[in-house]
Amino acid sequence: MNRMSAIHDTVYKRTQYDVIVVGCGGWGLAVLKVLTDMGLSVLGVERAEICHNLRHYMKHMVMHSVLSYMILDPEDKIVARKGDDHHPLIEELIQSYSDFADKFDLPIKTHHELLDVEGAKGAFEVTVRDGEGRTSCLGAKRVVLATGSYDEPNLAGIPGELNGSVHHYFHEWEHIKDKRVLFIGGGFSSADGIIALCPRNRILWVVRKSNDAVEKMLTDQKTVWGQPDAHLVNTEILTDSQVISLENNTAVVQTPGGRQTWDFDLCYMLIGHKPNQSLCTRLLNGNLDFDEETFESCERPGVYLVGALAKKHLEHIGLTHNLCPDNDGVRYIERIRSAMQQEFNCSGQQFR
Ligand SMILES: Cc1cc2nc3c(=O)[nH]c(=O)nc-3n(C[C@H](O)[C@H](O)[C@H](O)COP(=O)(O)OP(=O)(O)OC[C@H]3O[C@@H](n4cnc5c(N)ncnc54)[C@H](O)[C@@H]3O)c2cc1C
């Protein structure tokens, strides 16, 4: 891009906020509400729709947590209808978060992606790009990053893992039938995906875990995580095993009893995800460490890390002690609230 078009594309709005919250998943929304209640001038920027990452999880997934751990509004109509112990479908949770943003009229610019943060505490310049490719620069005294941990898949260094028939996200699945499907990874994502696909497909599930660990997870799936009808059919499980090649749609699997091969139509390699690495490098030198009490970045004063991006407070966002007395999310939100209270010397309502 030449200099003239760069200038043309850049609309310098020079708007100044106390805090810009980047990412409007559950955590970004919760932080926006808390800071707005404190009377701060706040803006949320979200690269797509609210809860963009949740919209790209597995469709119709039953959330492992019960509503009371995740709900933001204690008067939410979904809670009122279903009860605090209900395991919501992911679509219900997205609806509930969208209703929350609407009800409290949270200040959010959707379809604005964070590209960079320049400057220092008290005078950040936050560059965002809108859905039409125009960039603008917003001023903020503090920046809260709530961008999640779902941008890039973890890889295992297996030959063939980047081939087209190997997928690292499990999203659209209803159309898949009569296929030989390989699952790699012993986490809940694989278990959820296999439960969805196994009635109409043939599955091989390769896990490093022991047989006992897999059995326990499947039992928990039914008894603890809200899927009482979950059961596996058409599924062979190779435990204590690992895939060593995926080339040419053939899996070579190292099992305790030796090597086996298995031809597949498609493979789901679900071994976790991580944040956008180049953004983390640009903003934080790749260092995601933060102060445990305030969530302020160790690398970049004035920038705060919350939610799945900060890993340690990944889950349990609920905003009230009423709904969920042991909810860590409440304590985390309280910490960022009191950190900002000190920074801006203002008061704020405490959640009960
Ligand atoms: C398969 C699966 C199942 C899960 N089940 C549960 C469960 O049952 N219970 C539970 O509590 N948790 C569950 N989780 C964990 C879940 O990720 C967290 O609980 C929660 O959604 C994280 O919230 P967050 O707001 O931190 O991040 P996210 O929900 O990931 O939101 C991040 C937001 O930031 C936006 N964003 C990212 N980059 C930018 C950028 N550069 N500019 C602007 N916006 C940006 C994204 O578009 C997104 O909307 C599950 C996760 C997975 C993957």
At residue 154, does pLDDT exceed 90?
yes
Both tokens of 178, joined, read 């009569």
CATH number assigned to the domain with residue range 153-269, chosen from the 4 options 3.50.50.60, 3.30.360.10, 3.40.50.10070, 3.40.50.1370: 3.50.50.60
Counting ligand 1 atoms within 8 A of each CB, the residue from 90, 92, 315 with the most, and so the one to mutate, is 315
- Interhelix angle 328-344/26-37, rounded to 10 degrees, is 40
Range with the lowest mean pLDDT among 149-163, 193-207, 313-327? 313-327
Burial readout 332-351 (b: 16 or more C-beta within 10 A, e: otherwise): bbbbbbebbbebbeeebeeb
| Confidence (pLDDT) at 332 | 79
Mean pLDDT of 45-73: 91
At residue 12, does pLDDT exceed 50?
no
Task: Locate the ligand 1 atom nearest the alpha carbon of residue 51 and give its number.
Answer: 49
Average pLDDT of every residue of the chain: 89
At residue 62, does pLDDT exceed 50?
yes
Counting ligand 1 atoms within 8 A of each CB, the residue from 29, 45, 46, 306 with the most, and so the one to mutate, is 46
| Confidence (pLDDT) at 324 | 58
Query: How does residue 346 score in pLDDT terms, banded at 50, 70 and 90?
Result: confident
CATH number assigned to the domain with residue range 3-151+275-344, chosen from the 4 options 3.40.50.970, 3.50.50.60, 3.40.50.450, 3.40.50.1220: 3.50.50.60
Ligand 1 contacts CB of residue 193 (under 6 A): no
| Confidence (pLDDT) at 315 | 57
Q: Is the dihedral of CA 127, 131, 134, 136 positive or negative?
A: negative
| Confidence (pLDDT) at 5 | 35
At residue 281, does pLDDT exceed 80?
yes
56 C-alpha to ligand 1 centroid (Å): 10
At residue 350, does pLDDT exceed 60?
no
292 C-alpha to ligand 1 centroid (Å): 20
pTM: 0.91
| Confidence (pLDDT) at 98 | 96
Query: What are the extents of the domains in the chain?
Result: 3-151+275-344, 153-269
| Alpha helices per DSSP H over 87-224 | 90-103, 188-197, 211-223
Q: In this structure, which residue's CA is closest to atom 35 in ligand 1?
A: 23
Q: Beta 303-305 vs 202-206: how paired, if at all? A: unpaired
Ligand 1 contacts CB of residue 315 (under 6 A): yes
214-252 per-position pLDDT tens digit? 999 999 888 888 888 888 999 999 999 999 999 999 999
